[in-house]
Amino acid sequence: MRRLFIAGNWKMNLKLDSAIALAKGLKEAAADVSEVDIAVCPPSLYVQPVGTVLAGSNIGLGAQNGYFEKAGAFTGELEMAMLTDVGCKYVILGHSERRHILGESSEDVNLKVHAALQAGLIPIVCVGEKLNERDNGVTNLVNQRQFDGSFSAVSAEDMKKCVIAYEPVWAIGTGKVATPEQAEEVHAFLRDLVAKRYGQDVADVVRIQYGGSVKADNAKELLSKPDIDGALVGGASLKVDAFMGIINAVR
C-alpha cells in the first residue's frame, strides 16, 4: 500500500518572516498526522531557516530545484549535496514552470535526477501537457516523452526512490482542475509506463502525485483514485488552514 504524500511548493512566494511563521504553523498543526507523508519546498534562500524550524517534526524539507554539476564555477546554481547539507530530503525537478518558462529540457531534468539520487535526495519529477496538447489528443505522447527523457538510464532500484508528479500545465495556477477521471487516466498511463520499463513490482511502489489547483474541497475525490498517491500543492500550500485542509481531507 502506497502512503499518500502531500508536498507544498511555495514557488517564488513569501518573505522570510512569513515563511518562518508558515513553517511554525504547519509544524504545530500537523504534529499528530501519522497517516500521510508531508513536505514543504520553500524558495532556496529560505530552505535553511525553514528547515531549522521543522527539525524533528514530521514535515520533510525539500528544494524547488538543484543543479547536476558538482561544486565549481556555476554562478547562481545549487549543487545537490548543498541541499542535503542543509537538511533537504526532497527536490522538485522538471516543474512545468521550469520546462515551459525557463526552457529546461527532459535531458536537463535527467541529469538532475541522476545527481539528486547520487546525493541521496528523493526527486519529485514533474511531467504534464499544455492545453493545446490535450486538445490535440497528444496528452499521452507528451507525458511519455517527458517520462522517457527524464528517467533515462535510471535503474529499477533508483526508480523506486523517485516520485512522479503529474501536472497538467493548463491546471496550474489557473483554478482549472483535471477531473478525477482525467487525472486518474494519466496516472494509470504513467504507472503502466513504469511497469513496462521496470516491472509491476516497481510500478506498485512508485508514488505519483497530482499537481494542479488542488484544494481542500477537491483533494478527497482526486486522491481517492487508485493511481493518485498524493498532491504537489502550489497556492494552497501558502496558508496553514488551506494546506492542512488538504491533508485532513485525505487522512
Q: Which residues are catalytic, by number?
A: 95, 167
C-alpha grid cell, residue 44: 532556496
Type of residue at 74:
F
- Please check whether residue 158 is in contact with residue 175, taking contact to mean a CB–CB distance below 8 angstroms: no
Q: Cα–chain-centroid distance for residue 212? A: 11
Report the SS3 class of residue 55: coil
Type of residue at 38:
I
CA distance 54 to 27: 6
Q: For 42, left (φ over 0), alpha (ψ -120 to 50), or beta?
A: beta
- Please check whether residue 104 is in contact with residue 66, taking contact to mean a CB–CB distance below 8 angstroms: no
C-alpha grid cell, residue 157: 532500484
- Residues 6 or more apart whose CB falls under 8 angstroms from that of 12 comprise 43
C-alpha grid cell, residue 247: 491533508
Q: For 173, left (φ over 0), alpha (ψ -120 to 50), or beta?
A: left
